[in-house]
Amino acid sequence: MGNDTESQPDNNSISVVPAATEAVPGGVVVVQDPDSDIPDGGYGWVCVACVFFLNACTWGIAAAYGVFLSHYLTHSTHPTATALDYAFIGGLQFGCSLSLATPITLLTRRLGIHIPMAFGVVVQTAGYLLASFTTPTSGIWQLYLTQGALVGCGIGLTYLPSAPITSQWFSARRSLANGIVSAGSGIGGIAFSFASARVIAGAGGVAWALRMLAIVSGGVNVVAVALVRGRNAEVRATIRGFDVALLRREKVVLLLGWAFVSMLGYMTLLYSLSAYGRDALGLSAGQAAGVTAFLNLGTAVGRPALGWASDRWGRVEVAGGATAACSVLIFAVWMPAASYGVLVFFAVVSGTILGVLWMTISPLCVEVAGLKDLNSMLSLAWATTVLPCTCTLKKNMNDERQLNFF
């Protein structure tokens, strides 16, 4: 009161705002919104297509391992191998890929994204080609090294550097874009499951099915790696292999705990549903492979829808709701399932929300740690999921029905 003079800004003052800042002459600090320069489209859609096909030819192929697992168990391809040996090969694909998160993150910081990804394409292709030359007398250890470890390392080198890319190109439509790219694993799972089953059942057998995977995935991945573009420099990403400072945040620990449990359930459904149908319900090999394909069909349809819902109603809320819904479906539909039709229904419906982690983990990491620390946060998330990806639990029921659940 009594002073009508309009207050003038102090050129020496600094506003404390949780955003990126840039100093300019005169002592003024310009506050920038960390999402202000994100295109939210443009070449980002090309990158969405690239990462979609990378997902299809890495995790999509890994999802098709259920077809090979069913064949190995039915025909005792390696006489000395047990069911656990064959299941462990699939676990190695996921475990080896995610266990490399820290070194791959460090490689990305030093070499950029393209060199590790190109090397990954070579390793994955070599893994499938070498696996195609194994014989029943060569020992199960050769499948461990080729179809398991080599393919897993190739998937990790190819996929992990691409994981932050979509979130770096989008802001308002970040979850939708991530939902679209993660649907690639579902589309790839459908295509490679049916193609592998067709080749195995025909004159080509397992050997040519593996060579088919090598040729197709290698060719598609080469093109995708060449066209994809990251924005680590533009967002000033801090790329650390294992950022201990992030572990001091309560929200980070809660997110990592959710990732661990979610991946535990995801691996169970992905690799045991087909075998459950064959062993517990007496399905044919074709029907068992069809269950895996229907699961991937649900995934392909559901993930973009979940991405859209996450942008509209909240990423944390949708991720939590999808996880709870999948748990209810397991107890309400899978456990009492006694026919092929019910199992297919469960596969399609649960597939729409199964693996919600793959669609939401990158946007959730941005929500919890910020876009700048996305790479470091994802490295922690991948390290957390190594154990549930490699190991599974199995319970034999007294009526000879097998049920795998977490």
pLDDT in tens, the chain (406 residues): 444 444 444 444 333 334 444 444 444 444 444 555 777 778 989 999 999 999 999 988 988 887 888 788 777 777 778 877 887 888 788 888 888 888 888 888 888 889 999 999 999 999 999 999 988 777 888 889 999 999 999 999 999 999 888 888 888 888 888 889 988 988 888 889 889 988 988 878 889 999 999 999 999 999 999 999 988 777 776 767 677 788 888 888 999 999 888 888 777 777 678 778 877 888 877 787 778 778 878 888 888 888 888 888 888 888 889 889 988 988 889 888 888 889 999 988 988 887 788 778 888 888 888 888 887 888 888 888 777 766 654 433 333 344 343 3
CA end-to-end span of the chain, whole Å?
A: 68
Can you give the C-alpha Rg of the chain in angstroms? 23
Please calculate the CA angle 36-14-373 and round it to the nearest 5 degrees: 45
Whether the pTM exceeds 0.85: the reply is: no
pLDDT computed for residue 35 by the predictor: 54
- Hunting for tokens 């269950």 — which residue is that? 291
pLDDT computed for residue 3 by the predictor: 47
Own/partner long-range contacts of 139-143 (Cβ < 8 Å, ≥24 apart) = 139/78, 139/80, 140/78, 140/80, 140/81, 140/85, 143/78, 143/89
Best CA proximity match to 41, nearest among 216, 168, 153, 204:
168
- Hunting for tokens 């080509």 — which residue is that? 204
Contact 388, 270 (CB under 8 A): no
Q: How is the chain split into domains, by residue range?
A: 32-390+399-403
pLDDT computed for residue 397 by the predictor: 34
C-alpha span between 350 and 138 (Å, rounded): 38
Q: Is 304 left (phi over 0), alpha (psi -120 to 50) or beta?
A: alpha
Best CA proximity match to 262, nearest among 179, 354, 350, 331:
354
Q: What is the per-residue burial (b if ≥16 Cβ within 10 Å, else e) of 144-167?
A: bbbbbbbbbbbbbbbbbbbbbbbb
Best CA proximity match to 144, nearest among 115, 153, 324, 107:
153
Q: Is 18 left (phi over 0), alpha (psi -120 to 50) or beta?
A: beta
Contact 155, 63 (CB under 8 A): no
pLDDT computed for residue 150 by the predictor: 95
C-alpha span between 337 and 272 (Å, rounded): 14
C-alpha dist (Å) from residue 73 to 83, 192, 220, 259, 364: 6, 19, 30, 30, 38
pLDDT computed for residue 20 by the predictor: 45
C-alpha span between 193 and 354 (Å, rounded): 17
Q: How buried is residue 376: exposed, middle or buried, by Cβ count under 10 Å (0-12/13-18/19+)?
A: buried
- Hunting for tokens 């390696």 — which residue is that? 78
DSSP 245: G
CATH superfamily of 32-390+399-403: MFS general substrate transporter like domains (1.20.1250.20)
Residue 395: count other Cβ atoms within 10 Å of its Cβ: 9
pLDDT computed for residue 313 by the predictor: 85
C-alpha span between 131 and 93 (Å, rounded): 13
Contact 113, 230 (CB under 8 A): yes
Q: Is 370 left (phi over 0), alpha (psi -120 to 50) or beta?
A: left
C-alpha span between 110 and 217 (Å, rounded): 26
pLDDT computed for residue 235 by the predictor: 73
